[in-house]
Amino acid sequence: MLVAFFRRSLSRPLAPRFLSHKTLSSSSRQNATQLCRRLASNLTKTTAKETNAPVYPERLCIYHAGVTRITFLACVKLSTIFIFVFFTFVVTPKYYEKEGWSPTTIRTALSGVVPLLFVAWTTSPFVMFMHVRLPPFARQSEQMLRQYLKKLPRDAELAVTTMSPIAKARASKLRVSELRQDNQRLGIVNYVRDTTAEDATRKWYNYRAVGKFSFQANKAPRVPWAWDELAKTIPQKQKA
């Protein structure tokens, strides 16, 4: 009798526990299945977005002069500024106090002025990098980009970055139709544009617009061929 009673009392709580464990397991399986489906759908959507993503950015760098060349030129510009300050404001006044405007004083003053003017004259057209604004279809593939550059609209926008006298980046926004091929400053300048209208809108204390450019070897990281395609569409400047 006692043995039968204990058997019945032990068997009663086990049945609901077993059923609840089965129910919990089935619900856990359903939740796990739904979670996997959500993850799979999210992964599919992400993959589709990445597949349709543009290959090139809207503002693409098609010309880069190279980090080494840019750094060297900036160091040369800053060096000539230091030389100008040293000879003009330190050495020349000492000679002037002793000798007045003697040949030595004049040579000392020119030692600071001439290098500054020469470096400014030869390096002001130097182009560090250039960007072009692309329409959506030209950003999809290299083939579409090549076709766009070969038939580039004359109102396409360019951003040409040169270097100021204090080695600071200076961006000039212009249209492709403004550029012309030319040969000036002993071959340093190879592209020019007319800046008369733009200079008329600037104050007297502002820099004049950059109208002479020097494009050298192109080291653009992604599309080193793009500048060559664009340069073919730029005409020669007509001689007066």
Q: What does the pLDDT average to over 193-203?
A: 92
108 exposure class (CB count in 10 Å sphere: 0-12, 13-18, 19+): buried
Highest-confidence range of 49-58, 119-128, 227-236, by mean pLDDT? 119-128
From CA 104, how far away is CA 139, in angstroms rounded? 62
For residue 5, the model assigns a pLDDT of 46
From CA 63, how far away is CA 133, in angstroms rounded? 13
The encoded tokens of residue 206 equal 């502002």
Cβ 240 vs Cβ 185: under 8 Å: no
For residue 15, the model assigns a pLDDT of 44
CA distances from 23 to 16, 35, 211 (A): 10, 18, 80
Q: Residue 43 is which amino acid?
A: L
- pLDDT of 136-162, one tens digit each? 999 999 999 999 998 888 889 999 999
For residue 17, the model assigns a pLDDT of 45
By percentage, how much of the chain surpasses pLDDT 90?
60
Domain count of the fold of the chain = 1
Q: Give phi and psi for 130, each to the nearest 5.
A: -140, 140
With respect to residue 135, please indicate whether it lies within any of the assigned structural domains: yes
Cβ 127 vs Cβ 161: under 8 Å: yes
- pLDDT of 74-113, one tens digit each? 999 999 999 999 999 999 999 999 988 999 999 999 999 9
With respect to residue 105, please indicate whether it lies within any of the assigned structural domains: no
CA distances from 4 to 7, 9, 14, 15 (A): 5, 9, 16, 17
Range of the domain at 180: 59-68+123-231
Q: Give phi and psi for 183, each to the nearest 5.
A: -135, 105
With respect to residue 47, please indicate whether it lies within any of the assigned structural domains: no
CA distances from 217 to 62, 64, 66, 129, 220 (A): 12, 8, 8, 11, 9
With respect to residue 77, please indicate whether it lies within any of the assigned structural domains: no
The length of the chain is: 240
